[in-house]
Amino acid sequence: MRKILLIISIAAAFGCVAAIPYELTKDVDRNITFENVMKDPDTFMGKKVVFGGEIIETRVLKEGTQVEILQKPLDYYDVPLVTDESQGRFLAMFKEFLDPQVFKSGRRVTIVGEVEGKQTLPLGGTEYIYPSIRGQHIHLWPHTEEYYYYPHFDFGIGLYRWYPY
């Protein structure tokens, strides 16, 4: 019995390991919100932040790779929520090459980096002001499928079946 409890405890501990190393996030000011940076990016220049969301587009440039991201709220573990809620878009620039086939539209990411200010780029028929982040780390979250729970009545043990939408 002790061996089983030990194995379960070890598995639970490894299951709670953060995907983003603590060393990268220890200097992050968690009081800086995306909403505040969106309003006035220049005020937060040089501040380290953690933002996340869904990739809109990845562009390979001479200077590195620019990732355009639709911001999404993060959960306790800095995982972007699967929601329609967003406070805007932002750009993250990385020195290294990030393959656009891997970092493609629709994938969820969490970014650790420093606020560099803002960039104005065309969006549709207007100009959009993007907060700009100099990326230090990007975490690409695995594909997930959402499941809806449908009650199912059957003889025997009552269980729910999961059906992907």
Using CA atoms, how far apart are residues 22 and 28, in angstroms rounded to an integer? 10
Tens of pLDDT, residue by residue over 97-109, are 999 999 999 999 9
Domains and CATH numbers, the chain: 20-164 (2.40.50.140)
Residue showing tokens 């937060």: 44
CA 20 to chain centroid, in Å, comes to 11
Handedness of CA 69, 73, 76, 81 (dihedral sign): negative
Provide, rounded to the nearest whole percent, the portion of the chain with pLDDT above 90: 68
Give dist(CA 121, CA 93) in Å, integer: 14
pLDDT per position as a tens digit, 38-77? 999 999 999 999 999 999 999 999 999 999 999 999 999 9
Q: Is the pLDDT of residue 18 over 80?
A: no
Each residue of 72-111: b (16+ CB within 10 Å) or e?
A: bbbeeebbbeeeeeebbbbbbbbeeebeeeebeeebbbbb
Question: Structure pTM?
Answer: 0.77
8 A C-beta contact, residue 118 and residue 42: yes
Residue 24's pLDDT is what? Answer: 85
At residue 143 the predicted structure's pLDDT band, cuts being 50, 70 and 90, is confident
In angstroms, the Cα distances linking 86 to 8, 52, 53, 64, 146 are 37, 10, 8, 26, 19
The owner of tokens 């970014």 is 111
